Structure 1
Amino acid sequence: MRRIPSDPDLQDMKPPGWFLLALEGRAVWELGASFFAAPVLRSAPAGDGHPVLVFPGLVMGDFSTTVLRNYIAQRGYASYAWEQGLNFGPRPGVIESCLERVQELHARHKERVSLVGWSLGGIYAREIAKQIPDHVRMVITLGTPFAGNPKANNAWRLYELASGQSIEEDMRARHLPTTPPVPTTSIYSRTDGVVAWRCSVERESSRSENIEIQSSHVGMCMNPTALYAVADRLAQSREEWKRFDAGGLKGVKKLLYRSAP
């Protein structure tokens, strides 16, 4: 097992280098792979119909999560987009609107809502779960930088430009590394070209986990291994939640996933 860096190590983290950033172009291949992997993706556990709200990444909108949301719906869940246009960061009123949406879905379905967030969208999912845990079933993040140096990514300048806020002041003002009080899964990739992967590593416990995949950052919402992992996690019972089993599919998952760094 590889050592998880301590907090001081994380504060010294740098963004991914130019080589990994250049590899983000493979996202188009990940989209194609999701179609070729359809038979395997259909073998993921079927859903129970509970509501799932999906949050997009920085300066992205609901179109960017279309593949992910469609797959979630195909597996048997009530899949919802965030419906707030492009994500320009947690500007005044944004988190409040997200809280209201979760509460509305909870009331409509009479069930807790699972929150799935890609990149910055994962920050929303985690913070909402901390504020209204009685409305949230679980949190799943993909390539979300919730720990360590706020500038250990290649998008911090874009964040400041889009949000009009200092990323260091904004992120450190929140208790981002604190794990939400609901079952929590962080899906990340060591070959992420935007976010330093160590900043996406959750403190593991009986209710929290990490799943490592091979993926770009941009393609994580359509990477077949990410899609399968999301479906597998959504199928978990809130009362009897168990960590991801990398030994299924006759050992294939052992080749594709790592459940701990």
Structure 2
Amino acid sequence: MPPDDRGESPAPGRLRPPGLGLLLAEMRGIFEFNTSLLLSPLLMRARKGDGHPVLTLPGFLASDLSMAPMRRYLRELGYDAYAWKMGRNVGGVARMRAALRDRLAEIHASTGRKVSVVGWSLGGIFARDLALQAPEQVRCVVTLGSPFANDVRATNVTRLYEALSGEAVADDSELRKAIAGDLPVPATSIYSRSDGIVNWRTCLQRPSDTAENIEVYLASHTGLGVNAAALWAVADRLAQAEGQFSQFDRSGPFAIAYAPPEQAQS
């Protein structure tokens, strides 16, 4: 059995981090970004926004710069997109809870509207926690390659996360279970089976009338936030009216990039 990121063999029943081949293939993220630039005319055909605020949360070791292309895209569609303004994300789910809640409350108070939260990787875990903490302020949650479910140690950055954040992934099991469970707001998890950083099974939530999983073919972890098909899906999910939710329609200009619903849920 292949070793995990600690150099140890995972116990029976545990998920493995993605293999070396997928990890090395993460370099294609720059290609995904360049492709999105070329396909920008198609991306602008997405449904327009209603001006409501959208808070974007970067992934582990990333800063607001990583989500600048998404914020720019969302603003062009008519959303009021916000950065998290907390520098580089070095982790700490428990440590960051209060600051994130304050940032959400600040945006909610200044706009007078519920805030949609889009989180990439670790940012998605933060986003789900915000929905649990303040559901009255959150309109919906969209996560991108976020390892919040199943065996959350099945990533290639677990040891680094624990070293930099000062928190063990196994800490606060009740909080982890809550984040992995059903949310009180509509939630969409976007992921890829070709993710080289996190095991894609850690991104799956229980489908329901207000929760769904969307698989994007061939996307990398580092490119998921700038991948054209993922951006289209984010925009489509944000365009839903407040208080309403319908499952993602896998048609349109990027239809070929999405797995069928039944495949995305297993």
Same-fold status (TM-score > 0.5): yes
Specify the code of the residue in structure 1 equivalent to 2:212: E
Which of 200, 203, 209 is 2:203 aligned to? Answer: 200
Q: Which ranges of structure 1 fall in alignment gaps of 5 or more residues?
A: 1-8
Where do 1:1-261 residues align within 5 Å? 12-90=14-92, 93-170=95-172, 173-175=175-177, 176-214=179-217, 215-246=219-250, 248-249=251-252, 252-258=253-259, 259=261, 260-261=264-265
Size of the aligned set, in residue pairs, is 250
TM-score (norm 1): 0.91
Give CA-to-partner distance per residue, 1:18-76, whole Å, 9 cap, x none: 11111101001001001111111000000100000000011111011111111111111
Q: Which is worse superposed, 47-56 or 9-18?
A: 9-18
Deviation at 1:150, TM superposition (A): 2.3
Distance 1:38 1:161 in 2: 39
Deviation at 1:82, TM superposition (A): 0.3
Deviation at 1:171, TM superposition (A): 5.8
Distance 1:164 1:105 in 2: 28
Deviation at 1:99, TM superposition (A): 0.6
Specify the code of the residue in structure 2 equivalent to 1:174: R
Secondary structure in 1 matching 2:90: coil
Q: Which ranges of structure 2 fall in alignment gaps of 5 or more residues?
A: 1-10
Deviation at 1:161, TM superposition (A): 1.5
Secondary structure in 1 matching 2:136: helix
Deviation at 1:180, TM superposition (A): 1.4
Task: Calculate percent identity across the aligned residue pairs.
Answer: 44
Q: 1:185 to 1:10 in 2, by over 3 A?
A: farther
TM-score (norm 2): 0.90
Distance 1:73 1:48 in 2: 11
Distance 1:132 1:165 in 2: 23
Distance 2:93 2:114 in 1: 26
Specify the code of the residue in structure 1 equivalent to 2:65: F
Asked if the contact 1:10/1:148 (under 8 Å) is kept, the reply is no
Partner residue of 1:5? none
Distance 1:142 1:231 in 2: 13
- Off by >4 Å, runs of 4+ in structure 1: 170-173
Distance 1:118 1:171 in 2: 22
Query: What RMSD in Å do the two structures reach over aligned CA positions?
Result: 1.7
Partner residue of 1:4? none
Secondary structure in 2 matching 1:115: strand
Q: 1:81 to 1:16 in 2, by over 3 A?
A: same
Give CA-to-partner distance per residue, 1:120-160, whole Å, 9 cap, x none: 00011000101110100000000000111122010101101
